[in-house]
Amino acid sequence: MKFVTWNVNGLRACLKKDFMDSFRKLDADIFAIQETKMQPEQAIIDLPNYRQFWNSAERKGYSGTAIFSKIEPTNVEYGIGSPDFDREGRSITLEFEKFFFINIYSPNSRVKVGNESSRLEYRCRWENLLREYLLELDSRKPIVLCGDLNVAHQPIDLKNPSANHHNSGFTKEEREEFAKLLNAGFIDAFRQKYPDKIGAYTWWSYLRHARESNAGWRIDYFITSKSIQNLIQDVKIHDEILGSDHCPVEIEIEI
């Protein structure tokens, strides 16, 4: 099976930038998107072979997740059971016979020197609740989690690690929380397949021609239960696909 994740940074804007062409070329069995920034009635997404699942934020034009699936799930859950986070439309869980598929858009911690609006504490609470949620699912059947997790785990996962130790997505706290997730029985599928690959990024700032110079970050992931790591065939970063400041990530897994 082929799964794809993509932070589209506003689906209505991405639809004007060849989203549907990219969607058709990737031809995923399950296609997860983050940062939809819309309610489902605000655009017509004509996908006759896919079932659509939307979790939009209460705040208009903000956050939001969606999943388009060729396969009918046995159950669907929106959120992780916490109103503080669930009102922001950050997760959708599809249950299938042999696995759970979870689409996640993690909060940005907004950490930057001099920034008094940091959400780092909020972000760490999210990490703890998410980990508990995933462990409960994993106790029943394996999980495949994907999405924009808003963290670069190791120095290899961003172009300029030395300049970003105190910035969102590369703080000590966020990286430690990500390590806790992996240590709880999960794997970073891309690093499992390509432990030493450098220059593999999924997000680039719109500033200073970052994408052209590949000054990026790898913050979009597929995370799976360790119990199914041998079923992973490949993980691909489609940095050739434009339309957002992120690019799609694909996993092929025999599940």
Catalytic residues: 105, 148
Q: Which amino acid is at 18?
A: D
Rounded CA-CA distance 67/82 in Å is 20
The full DSSP string for 39-87 is -GGGS----TT-EEEEE--SSTTS--EEEEESS--SEEEES-S-HHHHT
52 - beta bridge partners? 68
Closest CA to 226 of 102, 161, 135, 90: 135
Q: What's the CA gap between 117 and 92, in Å, rounded?
A: 27
The helix-helix angle for 120-138 and 172-183 (nearest 10°) equals: 10
- Say which residue the tokens 């940062």 belong to: 35
Please, what sign has the CA dihedral across residues 156, 201, 130, 58? positive
Instruction: Please state, in angstroms and rounded to a whole number, the distance separating the CA atoms of residues 150 and 153.
Output: 10
Provide the residue type at 179 as one letter.
Answer: A
